[in-house]
Amino acid sequence: MDVSGGAERLISELVRHEPGHQVLVYDGGESFYDLGQPLMRAQGILGALWWILTHKRRFDVVHLHLFPSIYFSMILGRSCVVHEHNTGNRRRAYQIFRPVEWLVYRRARAVIAISQAAADALVQWVGGLPRLCVLPNFVPDLAVGQPSEPAACIHDCQETRHEIRLLMVASLTPKKNHAFMLQVLAALPTAFVLHLVGEGPLRDELVRQAGELGVMDRIHFHGAERDVARHYRTADLCVLTSNWEGFGLVAIEAAQFGIPTVVPNVPGLRDFVPDKRFLIQEREPAVWAKRILELRSVASDDTVQSTYREAAKAFSLQAYLVKLDAAYA
């Protein structure tokens, strides 16, 4: 499991708040998460399947996240729930997987999709499902207990007070489309600085591209961080340029701090835009740069910030658990 993945963050936060859950990890390093309890580990996918088959009587429900573990449903049947986290994946480019996954999703007790967009895409792939429910992820309130004003030491790399800080929290992977955001930054005035929180295989390529665009001195690579709240607290505006998302978790996290996120009109992101001015239809760097210039002052408006904070409250843990229990029933 990838420490920075959205599905893994969901599981870790759920276990922290609801310790009755137990987690089996079949692929991942020691850095996965400190869950406050031992992880059950298995060597590889077959080891994980064997572990589940020999221990499943200990559990009321086996909740399956991500490929290939969702294929366990063909063996586990109604003792499992399958969780769909994405609006698309590479398997859907190959028709040979369609009949297999038609069975995978129908064998389970229930199928949970993290957004309406993810549910619609799944139905388009395997047809209507009798026990499909939409359950948006809960988002722990990162703003709880945070100081009302940013501390001077929070921003390690802040050099000037007149910087306009753009924040993008996303793994450095192709679907997040950081390359596009670098082009947008190049079209913005030099006062705009981009802070990237996340790690991934494209880091070296993005550093190279930033150098070619002449914006390397306006970008800060922070890597993967557990304390993301400190970056939200000091951001002026958040951006997310993904080609697709299953669920816009980081946009909701930003909203907890009253910070809007500028997003493209793609599934999984357009579902959470409390103020539609922050939703951009076009995929042109010049258009994005112009809109960000306009939206910078809008983002600091008290009414806009209040609207975003209120919208984020709909994704509470309490509301999530009620719906999750219904799916388990």
Q: Which tens digits make up the pLDDT trace of 202-211?
A: 999 999 999 9
Tokens (6 digits) for 169: 């929290």
Verify that 86 and 215 share a domain, yes or no.
Answer: no
Return the pLDDT at 238: 98
Residue 127 belongs to a domain with what CATH number?
3.40.50.2000
Percent of the chain clearing pLDDT 70 (strictly above)? 88
Position 1 pLDDT exceeds 60: no
- Indicate whether 157 belongs to any domain: no
Q: Are 317 and 140 in contact (CB under 8 A)?
A: yes
Q: Which residue has the tokens 């389970």?
A: 108
- pLDDT, average across residues 101-108: 98
- Indicate whether 183 belongs to any domain: yes
Q: Is 127 left (phi over 0), alpha (psi -120 to 50) or beta?
A: left
Verify that 48 and 130 share a domain, yes or no.
Answer: yes
Verify that 177 and 303 share a domain, yes or no.
Answer: yes
Return the pLDDT at 164: 96
Q: How far apart are CA 168 and CA 164, in angstroms?
A: 13
Question: What is the average pLDDT score of the chain?
Answer: 88
- pLDDT, average across residues 218-230: 92
Q: What angle do helix axes 302-312 and 249-256 make, rounded to 10 degrees?
A: 120
Position 182 pLDDT exceeds 50: yes
pLDDT category of residue 232 using cuts at 50, 70 and 90: very high
Query: 42-46, 90-94, 213-217, 260-264: which range is least confident on average?
Result: 42-46
- pLDDT, average across residues 192-212: 97
Q: How far apart are CA 124 and CA 102, in angstroms?
A: 11
Does the N-terminal peptide bond of residue 68 adopt cis geometry, omega within 30 degrees of 0? yes
Residue among 296, 306, 293, 308 nearest 260 (CA): 308
Q: Are 242 and 176 in contact (CB under 8 A)?
A: yes
pLDDT category of residue 329 using cuts at 50, 70 and 90: confident
The set of residues, in sequence order, having a beta carbon less than 8 Å from that of 48 and lying 6+ positions away, is 24, 26, 42, 69, 72
- pLDDT, average across residues 92-111: 97
Q: Is 88 helix (H, G, I), strand (E, B) or coil?
A: coil
Q: How far apart are CA 138 and CA 214, in angstroms?
A: 39
- pLDDT, average across residues 100-106: 98
Verify that 287 and 181 share a domain, yes or no.
Answer: yes
What counts of helices (H) and strands (E) characterise the chain? 12, 12
Residue among 86, 74, 85, 69 nearest 24 (CA): 69
Verify that 169 and 129 share a domain, yes or no.
Answer: no
Q: Are 268 and 134 in contact (CB under 8 A)?
A: no
Position 27 pLDDT exceeds 70: no
Return the pLDDT at 43: 76
Verify that 205 and 301 share a domain, yes or no.
Answer: yes
- Indicate whether 29 belongs to any domain: yes
Q: How far apart are CA 94 and CA 23, in angstroms?
A: 31
Return the pLDDT at 271: 84
Verify that 13 and 102 share a domain, yes or no.
Answer: yes
- pLDDT, average across residues 164-176: 96
Give the strand pairing for 164-169 and 237-239.
Answer: parallel
Q: Residue 97: give the domain boundaries.
A: 6-135
pLDDT in tens, 273-320: 999 999 999 999 999 999 999 999 999 999 999 999 999 998 888 888
Does the N-terminal peptide bond of residue 285 adopt cis geometry, omega within 30 degrees of 0? no
Return the pLDDT at 35: 60
Highest mean pLDDT among 41-55, 92-106, 161-175: 92-106
Verify that 281 and 222 share a domain, yes or no.
Answer: yes
- Indicate whether 153 belongs to any domain: no
Q: How many domains does the chain have?
A: 2
Verify that 198 and 305 share a domain, yes or no.
Answer: yes
Instruction: Between 279 and 7, name the one with better pLDDT.
Output: 279
Instruction: Between 5 and 197, name the one with better pLDDT.
Output: 197
Verify that 16 and 125 share a domain, yes or no.
Answer: yes
Return the pLDDT at 145: 64
